[in-house]
Structure 1
């Protein structure tokens, strides 16, 4: 596994390993409530929403929320995907699957996600014609680090399930 991806997995894994000091959401993590229901979100909107945290350089934390025009979300990896999708609250890496369907990696489109039990990232595009090296946006640790956009290796991507949000729609 690529060393930067390993750091991301280790940092985000801690978000799922037990209660957080301000626990009030599913799985013992802070939920940062936002909307009364999961919103219908276009693929283009997921990219605009996710770019907002890159532009604002939102610092990674498992114990903090960030509020902007798109709501109030926990500033870890699954909170970042929750914000991009427009979910009611920040999900965990495991509970993201409750609002998504597993799809083949080759079918990934902008706004889908790659997730395992320890980390989640938003898919942006393919870096190669063979559709093996995804470019992702992800909120990773350690604490204080802003989200990044980067290319994953095929080996890194193989350790993740491709997910499609159940209320994503095509278009800008």
Structure 2
């Protein structure tokens, strides 16, 4: 194999294994906004997030869904933005602007698990060891409805637990 061919193969392999960088859909999709981020109770996040499960809102980074809680982008971070009552659909990176990292064992209904590519709303623990969270998430592929499911401890470990700055206890 020639040096030129080897370089081309290595470049292709590196590109295939490189992390996928998601464009910020917030810059392209302008859903409706509210005047300010809401003060939202934990029970309200439960009701608000359940509304998209009940309506089977289809996943898309290019669409908005409007209901009694406002208009939000129908991807994972738009779903968290709606559940928390934010002024607009944030991204997985900018959700951290309105939240703070918390210890994993302190997760409560309405907190979130985030990384740079995905976000999910924490609902409850599936186990006494507090290692397997039950989450609600708006996840692809395009057209898929949001789901509530248990994550493995290994999946949860890839995410940072955060708490919305304006969430209140019931």
Aligned equivalents of 2:24, 2:118: Cα separation in 1:
17
Aligned equivalents of 1:98, 1:87: Cα separation in 2:
11
Q: Is the 8 A contact 1:108 1:123 kept in 2?
A: yes
Cα deviations across residues 28-51 of structure 1 (Å, max 9, x unaligned)?
A: 242413211000000000000000
Aligned equivalents of 1:37, 1:110: Cα separation in 2:
22
Which ranges in structure 2 are unaligned for 5 or more consecutive residues? 1-18
Deviating above 2 A after TM superposition, structure 1's stretches of 4 or more consecutive aligned residues are none
Which ranges in structure 1 are unaligned for 5 or more consecutive residues? 1-12
Is residue 23 of structure 2 the alignment partner of residue 18 of structure 1? yes
Is residue 52 of structure 2 the alignment partner of residue 47 of structure 1? no
Q: TM-score normalised to the size of structure 1?
A: 0.85
Is residue 72 of structure 2 the alignment partner of residue 73 of structure 1? yes
Cα deviations across residues 75-102 of structure 1 (Å, max 9, x unaligned)?
A: 0000000000000000000000000000
Three-state SS of the structure 1 residue aligned to 2:124 is strand
Aligned equivalents of 1:129, 1:57: Cα separation in 2:
30
Q: TM-score normalised to the size of structure 2?
A: 0.86
Aligned equivalents of 1:101, 1:19: Cα separation in 2:
21
Aligned equivalents of 1:31, 1:102: Cα separation in 2:
27
Bigger relative contact order, structure 1 or 2, given CA contacts below 8 A and separation 6+?
1
Q: 1:146 aligns to what?
A: 145
Q: 2:167 aligns to what?
A: 168
- Tell me the CA shift for residue 65 of structure 1: 0.2
Choose 1 or 2 for highest CA Rg: 2
Aligned equivalents of 2:98, 2:52: Cα separation in 1:
22
Q: 1:58 aligns to what?
A: 57
Q: 1:118 aligns to what?
A: 117
- Tell me the CA shift for residue 141 of structure 1: 0.2
Question: How many pairs were matched up?
Answer: 152
Q: CA RMSD in A?
A: 1.4
